[in-house]
Structure 1
Amino acid sequence: MGITAKGTSVPNAAANSHTSTPPIEPRVFSTSKPPSLDDFKILTTESVPIHYPLAKDIVNNIPIYDLSAFSSYTADQLSALQDEWYHILLQGPGVFATKHIYTNLSLIDHVNDVYSSIIKQEAQQSGKKGDHFATSGSNSRIWNSFSKHCLADPTTFIEYYSNPWLPLIFSAWLGPHHRLTAQVNIVRPGSAAQISHRDYHIGFQSAESCEKFPKALQVASQFLTLQGAVAHSDMPLESGPTRLLPFSQKFEEGYIAYRLKEFQDYFLDKHVSVPLKKGDGLFFNPALFHAAGSNTSADVQRSANLLQISSAFGKPMEMVDSLPLVERTWEALADKYEKESLNDEVRAFVSNVAEGYPFPTNLDRRVPETAGMAPDSEQDLLLRGLKGRWDKDRVLVELKQMRDNSRA
């Protein structure tokens, strides 16, 4: 029986129909009913990229963008560039490479020295250090390289994360107020490849847990993060740059499928890669089937700063405490602002080092001051501090007060 708006029982139309109706489909995917490998093969072999006018080249179905060609672009032209990236990540191959995202290679070298110091320091500490879809200890990895870099060397941290290309790429997929985290991975010669996988959120769940998430969330989770990497060394093919399976992000059952041996075997047979130079970047939909390759080179220490960017509406993989990062960088940032005003580099750094989304918060204590329902974010506060010429003590007091007022 059905119920009307007033609560009166009425005959259920489906129950009284003489024609059969299709059953309600299960809301979840299941490994007990494996996805179709044939469907997956068709999707990944018969799809081809459309023409992307701003791409310099397409290699193995992966569009390549030379960012040095866009340095004088207007806002409208940059928006057209973002349109292409969005289409690639959503409906296209799911991955694109960026040449010359960093052109100051001496900066990369200085940052590599900082990473080396962190790795040496952590190697002296006891305890097992995990890795990401690879055997622990086979590579050198720095978890939360973002915060550790800042605390070790604020000067190069500011220069590195003041790169305006980063928020332009991030916002093409995630919109505003995203949150950046980073992990360094150095893969030595002889290191084996990762297992093919999808990434955070659902990609980091166990198979048992993954099956509990409804189909709509399986698809929606890819919109909560963007995966990226900046090459901190040259990455010829023999060094094992990331293995990729273009168009695989479009397979709705992929978070179940990547765990199955037949899909892993197919990935090993059909994956592609693109070589990168130091300072290049690679960005892809987290639902793309991918894996770091095996380093068969004789002497290449393949080094990448792995970027994971989270939507304002998602939760990042690592906790980033903005307060000590601002404490270490505020004076240099204020000096940069005095010399350069509020240019793209200053805005880029603020967007990376502080939260842009003010929720969750306590709206009794943090009453919105605008027509909307959102109070100031950490980024709003830092920009106000730069414009107001606040000293370090004041900006830290204001940040602490914001945190205290946000608590339940």
Structure 2
Amino acid sequence: MRLADLVEVVSEPTRADDYPHAAGVEQGVVVYASVTLRAAVASPEGEDAVRAELVHALTDGPGIVVLKGAWDDHDVVDRATAAFEEVIAQEKAAGGAAGDHFAKPGANDRIWNALEKLAVTDPATFVDYYANDVLALVSTAWLGPAYQVTSQVNVVRPGGVAQDPHRDYHLGFLSDEVAARYPAHVHLLSPVLTLQGAVAHVDMPVESGPTLYLPHSQKYGPGYLAYRRDDVRDYFADHHVQLPLEKGDAVFFNPALLHGAGSNVSADVQRVANLLQVSSAFGRAMEAVDRARATTAVYPTLLERRAAGWSDAALRRVVASVAEGYPFPTNLDLDQPVDGMTPLSQAEIVEQALAAGRDVDQVGQALGAYAARRRTDGAV
């Protein structure tokens, strides 16, 4: 991994001629007027053309599109904002933790699982908000049908500091050590499993810290292993772009794009964004397996094999087959990423139990607590 290789990739210009439906290109970012896109997709042929153009922008282009006026009914946006403020107030009153992936706990107001909480708090607003046609257009363009939407709300007050530049879920949430275990073709696969987006719930001038981006950086293959390097972060600090947004605008980007929220240096703007993460239908297994039940059943035998001298590698192979090795999805209100970017997985809990020689009752309790942390009932 050489910084020079990343520089070569991101030096490619964004050509306006490649995006005939766009309103223009600003700082290398393709900007669309949502009213234009709505008119263009009125026919099946037009919809196909717009989808192909969006995919080109997110894959071979700058990796980011700004959709002006995506949520053009500001009353709906304001109603959603009011509902989010109600949830924040409830959670603060309850004394809940406020962990964050990329910011110090408590630095911002964050709502985990804002999608479910909005649905429960204000169903009518939820329906009006998520009936949005532009969200469906860009989601189907990138992921196809049967996608799943999740949402996190971030409120950054004046004085809120910038995030470090990073890539996003999936591989972007893993440590360098873990990400390096995945082969190169998985690094290329990860971005097409997720679409990242953000809806501006207030006007966001540059001084309020809207997200910083490095256009075209999603095309740098080793980027999941490079983004924490000091030279990459220094380059990002000197060459990022940052666009102001207005209420109702939306930004969607390839999760492999290097990006990070900016510092809010405004005097009085509370930056409110609904962060959307849209997931591919293909990110799940075919069969439903009660892995806690299966793990509890085989755990006594694993203890016996360990006592008989089985290697840790052999035990890990069995654990990998029976337990859930990935910590997501989870309830981030209860399963906070406080000591890292990911909570413990079921498999890690079992491996730790084996190493400590814990009995089956203790493992059962740990797996029960693991399952309880993933429940969302009563979270609002």
TM-score if structure 2 supplies the norm length?
0.73
Which has the higher mean CA deviation after the structures are superposed, 125-134 or 168-177? 125-134
User: In the alignment, residue 181 of structure 1 is paired with which amino acid?
Assistant: T
Residue in 1 aligned with 2:122?
Answer: 153
Measure how far apart 1:43 and its partner are: 1.1
Aligned equivalent of 1:282, options 230, 251, 257:
251
Alignment equivalent of 2:171, drawn from 202, 208, 211: 202
1:57 maps onto 2:16 in alignment? no
Structure 1 residues 315-337: Cα deviation after superposition (integer angstroms, max 9, x where no partner) = 595469xxxxxxxxxxxxxxxxx
Question: Counterparts of 2:259 and 2:70 in 1: how far apart (Å)?
Answer: 22
Aligned residue in 2 for 1:46: 12
**Do the aligned partners of 2:213 and 2:242 also contact (CA within 8 Å) in 1?**
yes
In the TM superposition, what is the alpha-carbon distance from 1:45 to its structure 2 partner?
1.8
Q: Any gaps of 5 or more consecutive residues in structure 1?
A: 1-34, 321-408
Structure whose alpha-carbon radius of gyration is higher? 1
Instruction: Tell me if structure 2 keeps the 8 A contact 1:144–1:318.
Output: no
Superposition pairs for residues 243-392 of structure 1, below 5 Å? 243-314=212-283, 318=329
Q: Supply the AA of the counterpart residue of 1:85.
A: L
Aligned structure 1 segments of 4 or more residues deviating by more than 6 angstroms: none
Contact residue 196 and residue 291 of structure 1 kept, 8 A: yes
Q: How does 1:226-241 map to 2 (within 5 A)?
A: 226-241=195-210
Q: Which amino acid aligns with 2:8?
A: I
Q: 1:45 to 1:70 in 2, by over 3 A?
A: closer
Distance, in Å, in 2 between the alignment partners of 1:93 and 1:37 is 18
SS at match of 1:141: strand
Cα distance, 1:277 vs structure 2:
0.4
Residue-by-residue CA offset, 1:121-160 (whole Å, 9 max, x unaligned): 1012234321131111111000010000000010101111
Is 1:188 matched up with 2:170?
no
Cα 1:148/1:191, change in 2 over 3 Å: same
| Count, aligned residues | 286
CA contact (8 A) 1:232 1:279 kept: yes
Provide Cα deviations, 1:349-398, integer angstroms capped at 9, x if missing partner.
Answer: xxxxxxxxxxxxxxxxxxxxxxxxxxxxxxxxxxxxxxxxxxxxxxxxxx
TM-score by length of 1: 0.68
**Secondary structure in structure 1 of the residue aligned to 2:281:** coil
CA RMSD of aligned residues (A): 1.5
- In the alignment, the residues of structure 1 paired with residue 125 and residue 170 of structure 2 have an alpha-carbon distance, to the nearest angstrom, of 30
Q: Deviations over 1:301-327 (max 9, x none)?
A: 11110000000112595469xxxxxxx
Matched residue SS, 1:295? coil
Secondary structure in 2 matching 1:132: coil
Distance 2:251 2:45 in 1: 23
Unaligned segments of structure 2, at least 5 residues: 285-326, 332-380
- Give SS of 2:252's match: strand
Deviations 1:262-319 (A, max 9, x none): 1011111110011110000000000000000000111111111000000011259546
What is the correspondence of 1:29-108 to structure 2 with a 5 Å cutoff? 35-49=1-15, 51=17, 52-72=19-39, 73-108=42-77
Counterpart of 2:111 (choices 124, 134, 142) is 142
1: CA distance between counterparts of 2:27 and 2:101?
25
Mapping 1:213-232, distance limit 5 Å: 213-232=182-201
